[in-house]
Structure 1
Amino acid sequence: MQANDMVTLILGLPLLAVSFWLTLRNSLRGRLLLAGTLGFILYTYVTMCFGAAYNALFMIYVALFSLSLFAFVLVMMSFDLTTLPAHFSDKLPRGWIAGLLFFTAVFISLAWLWRIAPTFTPGSIPALENTTSMFIQAMDLGLIVPLCVLSGVLLLYRKPWGYLLASVVLIKFLTMGTAVSLMALNMARLGVSVSAVELVVFPAMAIANLVMVSLLLRNIKN
């Protein structure tokens, strides 16, 4: 989690501050950035609450988890879905954005199922590291993968929830993709076994998300 902490400090906190400032100025771009950044922080501290070995910062993790959860809910409630699609230009590359979301869903599914599949063999011992279950895989397969698929489909059909969810997911994956890429590189540097596919695909996804977030923000009529 060292690389994740670095991304939170260098990228997450500045994004949080800037997006909050823009939100106070009634900027739609700001609120979308704020929702996506809060999604990243929420995911991070759910992970720390349930995945990190118990330590003196436990209550800090719980506080950040709770604060980011309710802040995220409040921001999501602030959007007027009836007028939201009108704020996006017709030039928005909805197909490319949906394609990236679908690719992300497929890649995450295959990556985690590849790790889970060996546990189906009778008597097999899963590699659980310091946890009692595969909670990251449960979160990603039960929440993130369906969210990617749902937001991509709704965006293609020009539904209000599609614009909102796709925007939030893209921004969340921009920060999370950067964090995961640096985590993999840091683990490889320390001699931990990391898949070569992960070392290539995660950075590529982070770059693709950066491009799509830039196009998304450029095509918002505030």
Structure 2
Amino acid sequence: MSQIPIPRPYRLASLATLVLTTVATSVGLFVPNFYRDHPVLLPQIYGQDLLTLIVGVPALAISLYYANRGSLRGYVIWLGVTGYLLYTYASYAFMTAFNELYLVYTTLLWLTLFTFVGGMVRLDAATLKRDLGEASVRPYVAFQLSLAVLVSLLWLSEILPATLEGTSPLAIAEAELPTAVIYSLDLGIIVPAFVLTAYWLWNRRAWAYAFTAVLLVKIATLGGAVLAMIVFMTLEGQAVPLPQILIFGTLTAISLWLMGRFLMAIGSESNPVRARTS
């Protein structure tokens, strides 16, 4: 008997995520003065909301449909977009100033965490490895290590001087935040995930292929969100260094190319979930 790629609890969680994400982003974008955050943060929040609404929500809906029909490509994209939303609403729940959607953010946090973990556990990593075959893993390893180094350098260039001087980083001080949740998420979770996945992929471990696929989708969507933030920041008259625009634009383009390359290598008939053993 064939397995259902996405069990009912995860389908329902994803459908609830679609509804709540649409509500949260629409309210944030279209209700005047809804956010109570410092003005320096508002363009970033609006950019995140816009990318999530016009890219994240449709991508989650379409990938959920195809994943539920047994598409491994759809399943990988579904997990990647869910990972993006998990990261997004973790930052909203922990960093955004309290507003009427606080419980929506926390609900989205546990819904996406539940879906992401459950979906990853069921993913057939061995099939991903088989489909990629003997294709070179060097581009994926190099990209993930490069991202780990760049993100670390970006944040440490702000954290270390402030630590040595006994002050707060400028980004925290300007936004009047007690700390930077993004520093914590990136340095505590994302950077180690890139390094470990790159190491495992270099050694061609099956689960490294699964994490690589999901991380590529997540970075492509997150990179788009950062570019949307930059657009809003520019419109608000905030200075955005040209190198920063070029770096994030290049990284987003590379992640999209690698994601497409990876997804195209997946067989159209490949089963997304592992077969049960009796």
- What's the TM-score bracket when you normalise by the shorter of the two chains? over 0.9
Q: TM-score, normalised by structure 2?
A: 0.76
Distance in 2 (alpha carbons) for counterparts of 1:184 and 1:10 = 16
Contact 1:95 1:156 in 2 (8 A): yes
| Root-mean-square deviation over aligned CA pairs | 1.4
Q: Give 2:102's match in structure 1, choosing from 44, 55, 58.
A: 58
Q: What is the percent sequence identity of the aligned residues? A: 33
What are the equivalent positions in structure 2 for 1:107-146 lying under 5 Å apart?
A: 107-127=150-170, 128=172, 129-146=175-192
Asked which structure has the greater CA Rg, the reply is: 2
Shift of 1:11: 0.8
Deviations 1:79-116 (A, max 9, x none): 1334441132433x411111111111111000000111
1:210 aligned onto 2:256: yes
Please list every run of at least 4 consecutive aligned residues from structure 1 whose deviation after the TM superposition is greater than 2 angstroms: 80-84, 87-91, 121-127, 193-197
- The DSSP-based 3-state class of the residue aligned with 2:197 is helix
Contact 2:126 2:207 in 1 (8 A): no
1:149 aligned onto 2:195: yes
Contact 2:125 2:207 in 1 (8 A): yes
Larger mean CA deviation between 129-138 and 55-64 belongs to 129-138
Distance in 1 (alpha carbons) for counterparts of 2:143 and 2:233 = 26
What are the equivalent positions in structure 2 for 1:25-36 lying under 5 Å apart?
A: 25-36=69-80
Q: TM-score, normalised by structure 1?
A: 0.94
Match of 1:48 in 2: 92
One-letter code of the match for 1:108?
A: V
Match of 1:177 in 2: 223
Contact 1:102 1:152 in 2 (8 A): yes
Distance in 2 (alpha carbons) for counterparts of 1:23 and 1:186 = 33
Distance in 1 (alpha carbons) for counterparts of 2:228 and 2:92 = 17
Contact 1:85 1:160 in 2 (8 A): yes
Structure 2: give runs of 5+ residues left out of the alignment. 1-44, 271-278
Count of aligned pairs? 221
Structure 1: give runs of 5+ residues left out of the alignment. none
One-letter code of the match for 1:167?
A: A
Distance in 1 (alpha carbons) for counterparts of 2:53 and 2:143 = 26
1:188 aligned onto 2:231: no
